[in-house]
Amino acid sequence: MHKLKYACLIVVTTFLMGIAFPVGKIGLAYAPPFLLMGIRFVVAGGLLALLCAKRQQPQSLKQWLQSIVIGLLQSAGVMGCVFFSMRWITSSESAILTSTSPLIVILLGTFVSGAVYQMRQWFGVVIGLVGVAVAVGFHLGLQPGTFISIAGAVIFATATLLIKRWAPNFDRYVLAAYQMLAGGLALLMMSMVTEQPFFTVTAGSVTVVLWLSIMCSIVQFSLWFYLLHRGDPAKTSSFLFLVPLFGVLTSWLLLGERIEWYVGAGGLLIGTGIFLVNWEGARLGAITTRRMALHSKMVKE
């Protein structure tokens, strides 16, 4: 993929991930979190499934189960943890902790897929995490929501690697549709068990649901699966450091939240971390590719 195209798609995808935080916060005035997210993903998955009706569908029970597992992790697990954690911590804190998933991707990728990363890349991940913390002002505390958000990061990393491994066997848009449907239905069931469901129908609530469903779900998930399929999952996931930064900026625009000087400082650190993670020589890239191919061959045998 051309570098400029890759960079543009990364910016669009992470922007949509980031703006989902303030838009979701606005939506909480109209519905409880699990119900709101359940409606979001059922609407998004249903619309995308209709659009993909003539595309290649899952060919076996195994593929159907794989799409459901990804949905339970990527949609229900991650978003469930993010919004449930906000009962104890702020959306910025949740964004910080969830964005630690790139480090977890590298850890899992090293031990599970046989990927090899340089010390410079590991250092880049750490710098990026520090940048995220600086950008939102170091407002972290050890509360139940802290551990729930960390669990969300682990789930996000696991889903990232599974998508990279399973997605080549799917039409990526079909996979995006069915995983959102599976995750949305799971969230609706969680809402019935843990919440007192209500939904206030207004122009504002409908706008929030449509934006979250179309832009922050259909467009965002389709682009995310495309990028994971075309690139290294650890590299692609490193750009998740941009999500909380976009979240802070869009919260300022949509909610009037004040932006402090440390947002700029954090942004500089985030950019440095992304550069270090992605600055990889051709020789190491070739070695990494060969080792991953050899590992995959050994697993299949």
Residue 203: is its pLDDT beyond 90?
yes
Compute how many other C-beta atoms are within 10 angstroms of the C-beta atom of residue 32. Answer: 18
| Per-residue model confidence as pLDDT tens digits over 10-31 | 999 999 998 988 898 899 889 9
**Residue 39 pLDDT grade (very low, low, confident, very high; cuts 50, 70, 90):** very high
Q: Where are the alpha helices (DSSP H) in the chain?
A: 3-27, 33-51, 61-70, 78-85, 91-98, 101-108, 119-135, 144-166, 172-194, 203-210, 220-230, 233-238, 242-255, 261-278, 282-300
Give, in order, the Cα–Cα distances in Å from 149 to each of 26, 156, 250. 20, 10, 21
Q: Minimal CA–CA distance to 67: which of 226, 192, 232, 183?
A: 183
- pTM for this entry: 0.76
% the chain with pLDDT above 70: 85
Q: 103-138, pLDDT tens digit by residue?
A: 777 777 777 666 677 787 788 878 877 877 776 666
pLDDT at 1: 67
Residues 227-249: pLDDT tens digits? 877 777 767 777 877 887 888 78
Summarize pLDDT for 249-301 with one digit per residue, the tens.
888 888 887 766 776 677 778 778 777 776 654 344 444 444 444 444 444 44
Contact, 83 vs 35, CB < 8 A? no
Distances (CA, A) of 69 to 63, 155, 174, 214: 10, 11, 14, 22
pLDDT in tens, 69-97: 999 998 899 888 887 887 777 766 777 77
Number of domain units in the chain: 1
Q: Which of 52, 37, 21 is nearest to 190 (CA)?
A: 37
Task: Give me the pLDDT at residue 287, please.
Answer: 44
The pLDDT score that the predictor gives to residue 22 is 86
Q: What is the DSSP letter of 55?
A: S
- Structural domain harbouring 120: 3-300
